[in-house]
Structure 1
């Protein structure tokens, strides 16, 4: 009895200590001023959390690995994956490839929000003609593969790199809009649909859909848009809404509610995630290398119950896409459902075979030797959101409610006077030439050189925001004549249902023009991870650090 009483006392003391620590208001360790106090300015600080991944994503803990290290041969003699040790930061990646039903959801959204914009819908359609072959009867795939329910969980194909990029933007906005509507910071889906219940997802004010950047800039708010659980505004200058009550505000980045944007993974991220070496790591020692996303040198399962089964969807040899009737080995003639075979040690499906996958990188043969060793990537096109009015901080929007991006004007933050002068100067200049603000009026220079300096360049020094072909000697004039490698050539990896086993190796790399498509190329999305890079910070030994107040 005495022991039980002692235990109860300890529990009660713990609860009291926890409640007292929670009730104690946080204050600045540098000024001593309390956070979240409307009487001293209302500076708000929220609990520091490790954000959860967006829908469909799994966490990939980063680290160092040898880029190109899993390749044991170079059958094409291109020398385009020279081994090099690099570090990849932690990030999130889609568990599966983007499927047909995922893409049909995208098309449906376009159709109900912009029913009169046939160009938007047409541009989003995959090219189903990629299935046609001169001497093959593939017409059923042309008409059925994208839309028939039998293929709804198969990877979408016929999608260009440009289309994949547009999908990532759309997916980001739908994810964040759903978070805000379900959380009450925006009007609920039911309230947004209105009494008519037409299902339109466009914002009531202005008729343009939700966009994350525009919302974070405070440009999506007002009657019919605001939710019932908006964030309290502790700014002493804030005023209550038309309905009275306490002042409310829209969500800001500091709240930690909205998530990072979806994007295509970089080539290094894709290769790192495909290898999944985390399953072979013990105290920072990689016990065994890999040639494929699974262990071993072969492509068949060594386990007793599945012994001999092919571990990925690929072409075993000439004329052998699926095995012998009565015992179809990989169970797929073309693509297979996105959840097929065994996932790798990160939990990712089909990182070898099924379809090749687009990455974000621009192709160069020597990229492995030239890119940075931390988060290596080739493809930077630095852009800034166009300001409609610098004094008001309003972003310019296109007809779809998304921010307009212009090439970056400088490599560092501009002075306020320079920003305002540039905005006014380019607006006057471009009104005369009917060009969008921020677009250089001078033509692109000779092949392989940077664009000529814009008149708005600071101090007369030209700044080129396009670093896709940084310091290389590729000439776009020769594109299609002696080389296919230019700034429009994008890397894809992973092998497909119609490729031999060689291409299943994560280190292999090929490229295709960004506006081309194939029945053998799909994609999956990634998302940057913010904050701590360690996925499970409470596991393993660590130093004791006093928590901040």
Structure 2
């Protein structure tokens, strides 16, 4: 096993460098002919001049299953009257950076692919890894209902391949996101010829591809044809081949659960109310911030689509429960045509092109639940749940892998954070709500059902009334619990231009002529 003795080789695993999203050269580091530093004049990717490797400006490609969500400012929180009396979604204006989110919920077939990989790689040496990832199919069971066919068939029968996976805990959902990140990045490296495709069936135990382990030099994979080529970009200063780093722009950021703010912003799809930027630089749409719409598919505050031609009049645009005992309507005139969750790309997508942000299944998000977070969180990229980590180093200052091949991480201590200006503790889950500063205590199981393992659930489900379909509503559940109404979808950070790959960052103007 190879080990590192220098933290510099892990650049990019803790801090993601934002790659410029300019057109071609875009006025970036490289001109059409020169590949030299504008600061020092030394050449990049030149072994005779130190071998400092710099990739050409590249745009972030869209990962499998994702759609781009252009960020912006919106009013997060309640739309309708708080009929539950929880007072846990107070409207508040915040800004969300651009990001990516799954077009649809994670389906049974996607999750079975994950289980197949776990069984193939860890089945003999660590069978508990596979068992712990299994969804709980007993969530369909009820004391006063005949749901045994769903217990037996919903997850595994091919008729339900494209139906959203349920019975998955928050912890299982986050583990799936990590697995998906590694599989996507592994394939990107294989497609570029930096890893051999022969590794696909040879991985096992602690020698499985993990993005962070790979960038730290701890993954013992077979180099591909590109690694053996004469390209200076993938060579160390001494001429020996090196692994790709995030600075090369090949690998993608991690898949993860969306934050509550991201999920709600994506669900509202306000881009449909704003003309947006044109392809000509400098021409932008109006800065419209309209009243909160009720449901995710709306293009106006009433939540209705354009029905002038009558094509959608009377049709259900989401999968939900219309009233007590009415999950699908009457035979011959079914309203939403789904008694349980429907296929992940059924029902009406919103203006970002995202399916089932209202109805079908409710979804886990990344946040730890607190009842008053809308008034004590940041107004930029709001999120509660930070427990900062850094790379683990042994007594010899070497990085290590765990038994499953993942790079070992450790929690940041309060001592390490004490002298910082931006945070003073490593675990800030309870910051301003549950700590000594807030003078708030959550006596879980005594005075409250809220603790640090309570995570937010967003969106209504097939078995919920219309109230829960509004993106501003929020509920919570313990991270080790699951139901037949909750699934999940993944998200990913966006690096580069917040307007997408066709646009530059910032307002650009012609250089003024200097008077002499």
Q: Which residue of 2 aligns with 1:143?
A: 152
- 1:384 & 1:545 partners in 2: Cα distance? 43
Q: TM-score, normalised by structure 1?
A: 0.79
Report if the CA contact (8 A) 1:187-1:225 is conserved.
Answer: yes
- Secondary structure at 1:140's aligned position in 2? helix
The answer as to 2:405 corresponding to 1:405 is: no
Q: Post-superposition shift, 1:47?
A: 1.3
User: Contact 1:389–1:395 at 8 Å: present in 2 too?
Assistant: no
**C-alpha displacement of 1:137:** 0.3
Match among 115, 118, 129 for residue 107 of structure 1 = 115
**Within 5 A, what are the aligned runs for 1:31-42?**
31-42=40-51
> Shift of the alpha carbon at 1:182?
2.1
Task: Give the distance between the partners of 1:129 and 1:328, measured in 2 at CA.
Answer: 27
Query: For 1:223-302, what aligned pairs fall within 5 Å after superposition?
Result: 225-230=222-227, 232-233=231-232, 237-239=237-239, 247-282=240-275, 283-286=286-289, 289-295=292-298, 297=302, 302=307
Deviation per residue, 1:329-386 (Å, 9 max, x gap):
1010010000011110001000000000001010111100000000000000111121
Instruction: Tell me, yes or no, if the aligned pair for 1:209 and 1:400 is still in contact at 8 Å.
Output: yes
Q: What does residue 329 of structure 1 align with?
A: 335
Tell me if structure 2 keeps the 8 A contact 1:336–1:354.
yes
Q: After superposition, give the CA deviation of every residue in 1:383-415 in whole Å (9 maximum; x if it has no partner).
A: 112123654xx42211110022211025768xx
Is structure 2 residue 59 aligned with structure 1 residue 59?
A: no
Distance 1:542 1:383 in 2: 36
1:83 pairs with 2:91:
yes
SS of corresponding position for 1:490 = strand
SS in 2 for 1:167: helix
Deviation for aligned residue 1:326: 0.9
Q: How far off is 1:289 after superposition?
A: 4.1
Q: After superposition, what is the alpha-carbon deviation per residue over 1:128-187, rounded to whole angstroms, capped at 9, x for unaligned? A: 111011100000010101100000100000000000010011100011111111221001
In the alignment, which residue of structure 2 is the partner of 1:502? 467
In 2 relative to 1, CA 321–301 (structure 1 residues): closer, same or farther, beyond 3 Å?
A: farther
Q: Residue by residue, what CA displacement relative to the aligned partner does 1:178-228 show, whole Å, maximum 9, x if unpaired?
A: 11112210012xx335xxxxxx2516xx8621000010112224xx61111
Instruction: Give the alignment of 1:80-479 within 5 angstroms.
Output: 80-116=88-124, 117-188=126-197, 191-192=198-199, 200=201, 202=203, 208-221=207-220, 225-230=222-227, 232-233=231-232, 237-239=237-239, 247-282=240-275, 283-286=286-289, 289-295=292-298, 297=302, 302=307, 304-388=310-394, 391=397, 394-409=398-413, 464-473=425-434, 478-479=443-444
After superposition, the CA RMSD in angstroms is 2.5
Distance 1:257 1:480, change over 3 A: same
* Bigger Rg, which one: 1
Q: Confirm or deny: 8 A CA contact 1:233 1:249 kept in the other structure.
A: no
Cα deviation, 1:488-538, whole Å, max 9, x if unaligned, reads 100001000000000000000000001000000000000011122122554
Using structure 2 for the length normalisation, give the TM-score.
0.84
* Shift in CA distance, 411/491, structure 1 to aligned 2, threshold 3 Å: farther
Shift of the 301–480 alpha-carbon distance from structure 1 to 2, 3 Å rule, reads farther
- Between structures 1 and 2, the one with greater helix share: 1
Deviation of the 1:468 alpha carbon: 1.0
CA 1:507–1:390 in structure 2 vs 1: closer, same or farther (change >3 Å)? farther
Change (3 A) 1:278 1:477: closer
CA distance in 2, matches of 1:186, 1:504: 45
2:479 pairs with 1:521: no
Structure 2: segments with no counterpart, 5+ residues: 1-29, 276-285, 512-516
SS of equivalent to 2:132: helix
